Amino acid sequence: MSNLDRRTFLQAGLGVGGLMLSSSLSRSWAQQGDPIKIGLIIPLTGATSQFGATMAQAAKIAETEINAVGGVRGRPIQIVVEDDQSNPEAAVRAAHKLIDVDKVVAIGGSYASAVTSAIAPLCWDGKTVLLTSSGADSITKLPHDGYIFRTSPTVTLQGTSVGKYAVELGAKKMFFLGPQTPFAQSYIDIISGIFKATGGTGNGLVYEDKKSSYRSEVDQALKESPDVIVLGGYVPDTSVVLKDLYRAGYSGKKIGFSFGINDALTKAVPAEVSEGAYSLVPSAAENSEAYKRLISKMKRPSLDSYSCQVYDHVVLTSLALARATSGQANGTAVRDNLRAISEGEGKRLDDAAEALKAVVVGGQVNYDGPSGPLEFADNGDVKGVFFRYEQVEGGKLVVRKVG
């Protein structure tokens, strides 16, 4: 089906009042053998696509592991992948398809905060669990009725960590440069507050996305003589900002986030342009056996936290449904059982297949995945997070600090 045909079909479905949506609540274990569909909305194209391919691969590995031990109470799981194109409008179309047409019980992935903010209401209205790796604090403040679980650190945690690290590096005057996002102003406020509390200064500027030059914004920032510039954009705009900083002769420190300063960025700009830039990276549980098994199956020396989280999104959904006693395979069953298999007094297990086998026979488990411990606050935010700092050196990212 072409994109145009798909759009026309979805619009037609919405025009009859979303009647297909209500049927998603009646799926039961009685349909033995029918696959349980789990959706993924991930960035395979666009500005945030650097992690999309590995997210999809990690999810498929989880699917294979779950199905290899019989699936969820005799039913295989099936991953349905949709490309959000790094665009909220495309993500909304994808969410409508997954909820209304594919009848998924949960949607995982959901990386960019703008994407997650756009699709979240569709998920809780459709009683479909949304597992997200987005950071904007506003997401879990929405009236989601327990249908949102965030596995990534919030903007508050990330901004606080960046601010403290910049101060630790000796910086006194901070300036933030980033595009309009659901978290840009929060970063300015949080990081500026940390600098002011230690006797320094902090300011920032939110710019228009997708410009060919940010020289005027860079010049405005440099008027304040910052000794550290915090970069809050994604790879395409961060690449342009770094080039303009280099041309302007800026020699101070540069700190960004893993969504903007990463391997894709180091390949997009000359080595001298990105040299010395730091990046805050939400870290997976790299010393865990779960992480080691996953990277071995993916045939990679390492793996980003976001792809590890998507693997865990699939496993958490499967374990929650396996525990459900309601006789229903739907989002409400996932919501009501997810915490019971990821926290509490159950046996700690980091192997998806072993955890599933234990749950099916009535065992109590506390699943920890390759992304780390998966215990959630009442609002759906994950409690345990790991960070590391990397720095560009000779065109490569080198770990400088873990904590």
Read out DSSP for 282-299?
A: E---TTSHHHHHHHHHTT
Q: Does the CA dihedral 290-296-302-308 come out positive or negative?
A: negative
% of the chain exceeding 70 in pLDDT: 92
Q: 38-52: per-residue pLDDT in tens?
A: 999 999 999 999 999
pLDDT attached to residue 23: 34
As a whole number, the mean pLDDT across the chain is 91
Instruction: Give the residue carrying structure tokens 């596995």.
Output: 151
Give the single-character DSSP code of 50: G
- Cα 275 to Cα 397: distance, rounded to the nearest angstrom: 10
With a CB cutoff of 8 Å and minimum separation 6, the contacts of 11 are none
Decide if 386 contacts 274 (C-beta within 8 A): no
Pairing mode of beta strands 173-179, 396-402: unpaired
Q: What spatial distance separates the first Cα and last Cα of the chain, rounded to whole Å?
A: 47
Instruction: Give the residue carrying structure tokens 């749950």.
Output: 359
Decide if 86 contacts 43 (C-beta within 8 A): yes
Are 20-153+287-367 and 155-281+386-402 in the same CATH fold? yes
Strand ranges for 268-395 from DSSP E: 278-282, 347-349, 365-367, 387-393
pLDDT attached to residue 32: 58
pLDDT attached to residue 402: 82
Q: 146-180: per-residue pLDDT in tens?
A: 999 999 999 999 999 999 999 999 999 999 999 99
What confidence category does residue 292 fall into, taking pLDDT thresholds of 50, 70 and 90?
Answer: very high
Q: 79-113: per-residue pLDDT in tens?
A: 999 999 999 999 999 999 999 999 999 999 999 99
394 φψ region: left (φ > 0), alpha (ψ -120 to 50), beta (else): left
Q: 53-82: per-residue pLDDT in tens?
A: 999 999 999 999 999 999 999 999 999 999
Give the single-character DSSP code of 326: S
% of the chain exceeding 90 in pLDDT: 87
Architecture category of domain 20-153+287-367 in CATH: 3-Layer(aba) Sandwich (3.40)
Query: 304-326 burial, b for 16+ CB within 10 Å, e for fewer?
Result: bbbbbbbbbbbbbbbbbbbbbee
Top pLDDT among 384 and 369 is at 369
Distances (CA, A) of 180 to 64, 265, 268, 362: 39, 20, 22, 48
Q: 1-28: per-residue pLDDT in tens?
A: 333 333 333 333 333 333 233 333 334 4
Give the single-character DSSP code of 302: -
Q: Say if residue 202's pLDDT is above 80.
A: yes
pLDDT attached to residue 5: 36
Q: 296-308: per-residue pLDDT in tens?
A: 999 999 999 999 9
Distance of CA 82 to the CA centre of its chain: 15
Q: Say if residue 329's pLDDT is above 50.
A: yes
Q: Where are the domains of the chain?
A: 20-153+287-367, 155-281+386-402
- Cα 321 to Cα 380: distance, rounded to the nearest angstrom: 18
Question: In the CATH hierarchy, which fold is given to the domain comprising 155-281+386-402?
Answer: Rossmann fold (3.40.50)
- Cα 138 to Cα 146: distance, rounded to the nearest angstrom: 15
For residue 381, the SS3 value is: strand
Q: Which amino acid is at 331?
A: G
Instruction: For residue 16, count CB atoms less than 10 angstroms from its CB and return exposed for 0-12, middle for 13-18, buried for 19 or more.
Output: exposed
